């Protein structure tokens, strides 16, 4: 359930937007002014803010940046409010929602925040068995470890477990442990008191407290630093958190779900993941098979995404032509469901006529590490392997590394997690490299859903 904060009066057109969002399943809270909205975000938090542009949104957005609160803000107003909208966008507002609100646009925004469908889409027997097991385990209170390759739908499964649990009236809070550096991740998890560090201008509840009575998903748990793993283990054992700068523990009632694409037993053996934390998280394990291992799901998912993006873009709904469906079934989908979703989004935008035809299906070339899987071990390569090696002679190692990282990231459509997997490095190392390249003025492919720097308003 998306937690939606409304900044402004509910008596006018913004109230219409709130009611449309509520009808779509969003849980609403409301603040009359920017100080009240900031207090709400410091406390229980929210997944999305719909804010009336007549309020001082640049002030609010500046405070959110200072306090490292990453909740997206949508500026809402009429076209006559163009100057206020422009100021909000320049200050960091994610998008503009014109008023009076459009129901389909509200639905698309909520779906984008949820990052997935309301319920998993499946037909393959392998997934049917997994979903039955997940729904059986959902009624328990035990921690669940969800594993699977990047893009298989681990967060979607976690949300499904929460929906079918006894905690479904409580919040579902997700945190990507790979998305933040260690110093920020600690504050996000456990919260902080005013003055705990530079920029901590007010007390803030962490994700554990925000998930009180509900479910907390720790995504990409394998990327967490060992020091934080020790603090997380204590929270799970004692059921209490210590805010940074706090004077005493705070009791929490939260069910923990964790997700990873890494081989955690191998990480334990390598000393990068605590064995005691692994056993605490792995009370029950659910492994999502890659899309290539459940071909019965390809077409149902493709049809689902085709309808979703046709509606989101105001385009006619088109079925898949049989040759287009055959092309989808023949692909290996190294990027799993995420790659299929991106492919159908492009297809919806490129299609013309009554059906989605093969010419609208643009499949990404597999990265170099994936390509050999389509050939036999002894088949000759179409390219002389000596030529690319020879081309590297005379170049600096850091230049070769840089080009390899950026090319791999581009082929992964900006997906940091997938690129790090292919390169065989941690996402933390990848993030540091990309920051270094940005500092050199090099263009870095944006993450999925992130606006390229060249598109941003100056």
pLDDT digits (tens, 9 = 90+) for 167-187: 988 889 999 888 777 778 888
d(CA 238, CA 216): 16
Are domains 3-114 and 125-289 of this chain identical in fold?
Answer: yes
Which CATH number does the domain 125-289 belong to among 3.40.50.300, 3.30.390.30, 3.40.718.10, 3.40.1800.10? Answer: 3.40.50.300
Q: Going by C-beta distance under 8 Å and a sequence separation of 6 or more, which residues neighbour residue 190?
A: 206, 208, 231, 235, 241, 242, 243, 244
Which CATH number does the domain 386-455 belong to among 3.40.50.970, 3.90.79.10, 3.30.70.920, 1.10.10.60? Answer: 1.10.10.60
Q: What is the pLDDT of residues 288-344, one digit of tens each?
A: 999 999 999 999 999 999 998 888 778 899 999 999 999 999 999 988 998 999 899
Strand 255-260 relative to strand 144-147, pairing:
parallel
- At 361 the pLDDT is 94
All residue ranges of the chain with pLDDT < 50 are: 115-117, 367-387, 449-458
- At 276 the pLDDT is 95
Give the residue among 369, 363, 373 at the shortest CA–CA distance from 420.
Answer: 369
Query: b/e map of 320-346 (b: 16 or more CB within 10 Å)?
Result: bbeebbebbeebebbbbbbbbbbbbbb
Provide the CATH number for the domain formed by 293-360 in this structure. Answer: 1.10.8.60
Q: Show the CA angle centred on residue 139, arms to residues 207 and 175, nearest 5°.
A: 20
- At 224 the pLDDT is 92
Contact by Cβ (8 Å): 246, 231: no
Classify domain 3-114 at the CATH superfamily level.
Answer: Response regulator (3.40.50.2300)
Bond prior to 416 in cis (omega within 30° of 0): no
Q: Which two tokens stand for residue 380?
A: 């000759």
Strand 250-251 relative to strand 240-241, pairing:
antiparallel
- At 425 the pLDDT is 81
pTM for the full predicted model = 0.64
Contact by Cβ (8 Å): 203, 42: yes
């Amino acid at each position: 359930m998306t937690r939606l904060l409304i900044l402004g009066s509910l008596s006018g057109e913004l109230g219409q937007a709130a009611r449309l969002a509520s009808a779509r399943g969003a849980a609403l809270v409301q603040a009359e002014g920017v100080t009240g909205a900031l207090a709400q975000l410091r406390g229980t938090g929210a997944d999305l803010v719909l804010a009336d542009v007549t309020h001082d949104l640049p002030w609010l957005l500046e405070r959110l940046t200072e306090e490292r609160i990453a909740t997206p803000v949508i500026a809402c107003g009429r076209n006559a409010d163009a100057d206020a909208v422009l100021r909000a966008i320049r200050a960091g507002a994610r998008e503009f929602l014109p008023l009076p609100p459009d129901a389909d646009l509200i639905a698309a925004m909520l779906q984008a925040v949820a990052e997935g469908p309301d319920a998993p889409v499946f037909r393959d027997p392998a997934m049917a068995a997994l979903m039955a097991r997940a729904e059986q385990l959902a009624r328990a209170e035990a921690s669940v470890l969800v594993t699977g390759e990047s893009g298989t739908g681990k967060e979607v499964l976690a949300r499904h477990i929460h929906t079918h649990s006894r905690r479904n009236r409580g919040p579902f809070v997700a945190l990507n442990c790979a998305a933040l550096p260690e110093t920020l991740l600690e504050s996000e998890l456990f919260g902080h008191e005013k003055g705990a560090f530079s920029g901590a201008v007010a007390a803030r509840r962490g994700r554990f407290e925000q998930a009180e009575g509900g479910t907390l998903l720790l995504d990409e748990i394998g990327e967490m630093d060992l020091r934080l793993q020790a603090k997380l283990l204590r929270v799970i054992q004692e059921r209490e958190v210590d805010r940074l700068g706090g004077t005493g523990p705070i009791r929490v009632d939260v069910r923990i779900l964790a997700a990873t694409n890494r081989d955690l037993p191998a990480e334990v053996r390598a000393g990068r993941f605590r064995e005691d934390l692994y056993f605490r998280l792995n009370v029950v394990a659910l492994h999502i098979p890659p899309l290539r291992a459940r071909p019965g799901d390809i077409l149902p998912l493709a049809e689902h995404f085709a309808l979703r993006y046709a509606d989101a873009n105001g385009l006619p709904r088109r079925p898949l032509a049989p040759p287009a469906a055959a092309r989808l079934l023949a692909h290996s989908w190294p990027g799993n469901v995420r790659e299929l979703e991106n492919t159908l989004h492009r297809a919806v935008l490129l299609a013309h006529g009554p059906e989605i035809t093969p010419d609208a299906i643009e499949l990404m070339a597999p990265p170099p590490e994936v390509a050999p899987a389509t050939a036999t071990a002894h088949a000759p390569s179409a390219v002389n392997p000596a030529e690319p090696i020879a081309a590297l002679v005379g170049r600096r190692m850091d230049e070769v590394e840089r080009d390899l990282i950026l090319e791999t990231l581009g082929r992964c459509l900006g997906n940091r997690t997938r690129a790090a997997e292919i390169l065989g490095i941690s996402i933390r190392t990848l993030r540091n490299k990309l920051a270094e390249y940005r500092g050199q003025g090099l263009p870095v492919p944006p993450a999925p859903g992130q606006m390229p720097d060249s598109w941003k308003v100056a």
